[in-house]
Amino acid sequence: MRIDIFTIFPEMFDSPLNGGIFKRAADQGLLKMKVHNIRDYTHDRHHTVDDYPYGGGAGMVFKPGPVFEAVETVKTEIKDNDNVEGVPVILLTPQGELLSQEIAEGLSRQSHLMLICGHYEGIDERVADHLATMHISIGDYVLSGGEVPAMVVADTVIRLVPGVLGSPASPLDESHSTGLLEYPHYTRPAKFRDWEVPQVLLSGDHAEVNRWRREQAITRTWQRRPDLLEKANLTAKERMFLESVKTSERGVKRGADPS
Ligand code: ADE
């Protein structure tokens, strides 16, 4: 996979690229990440990338020219060996579609992504309308720019590319891939301070372990993210188990608060 990142703070990517998943994927030859400085595509003495908003108001707005030129230049440079017109051009913005595991899975099947990091009060709307093909937000909060969101998108996507993670089965089982939060994990020692590992995990009975893990996943999803259960794929037996969890939790809550 190739990922091109367009930013006015390219140095922010230096250390993430030198460790963890990005380095691992690059060392395996599975990722080529290129960071482009949008300022290199300006033509004035001060390398201006922002300007005052038409209509007035606070803050500055990212000019469209340098962003268009940066993305279009990179597209022409790679035209020979890529179906460049179909490459997703993703604008990171708090107004975008909320990033999900499903979106990450879709993007991981692409061979090339372009990520544009916005800044200031916003980016000229013509970038959103006529250059970007997708707008992604990483959550309902506002960051100072699109760099950290771009790293988040790149990380969620890269780890799904076949071969990047050691064990091919692991991404399929984890939180969100199954529509549920993941079950709890334990490793040695079996007793740490006063806390013991659940007995079933030491039993060697794989069917029991699997059943326990599934029930744990259902229980904690109900406790922490009940909204996810609407879309979760549960068997009739699991639905019954969920109902019993809900009933017993209501009992616990009633017991704790007699009002
Ligand atoms: N830029 C600023 N805040 C953002 C967010 N929540 N998601 C994506 N890009 C952003």
Query: How is 96-136 classified by DSSP, letter by letter?
Result: EEEP-HHHHHHHHT-SEEEEEE--TTEE-HHHHHHT-SEEE
pLDDT digits (tens, 9 = 90+) for 168-218: 656 666 778 789 999 999 999 999 999 999 999 999 999 999 999 999 999
**pTM of the predicted protein model:** 0.91
Ligand 1 pocket test target in 62, 134, 135, 143 with most atoms within 8 Å of CB: 143
User: So what's the pLDDT on residue 242?
Assistant: 97
* Residue identifier of the C-alpha nearest atom 5 of ligand 1: 94
Per-residue model confidence as pLDDT tens digits over 212-249: 999 999 999 999 999 999 999 999 999 999 999 999 98
112-130 confidence digits (pLDDT tens): 999 999 987 889 999 999 9
Q: How far apart are CA 217 and CA 175, in angstroms?
A: 9
pLDDT reported for residue 123: 95
Looking at residue 252, what is its pLDDT?
72
Residue whose CA is at the smallest distance from ligand 1 atom 7? 137
Yes or no: say if 52 and 61 are a contact pair by the CB < 8 Å rule.
Answer: yes
Rounded to the nearest angstrom, the gap between the alpha carbon of residue 248 and the centroid of all alpha carbons in its chain is 34
Is the per-residue pLDDT at 81 higher than 80? no
Q: What is the average per-residue pLDDT within 32-44?
A: 98
* pLDDT-based confidence at residue 84 (cuts at 50, 70, 90): confident
Take residue 212 and report the two structure tokens written for it.
């326990």
Residue 258 has pLDDT above 60, yes or no: no
Ligand 1 proximity of 195 Cβ (cutoff 6 Å): no
**Contact 94 CB / ligand 1 (< 6 Å):** yes
**Given this model, what pLDDT does residue 259 score?**
41
* Residue closest by Cα to atom 6 of ligand 1: 94
What pLDDT is stored for residue 195 in this prediction? 98
Tokens 């990047």 map to which residue? 164
If you average pLDDT over every residue of the chain, what do you get? 93
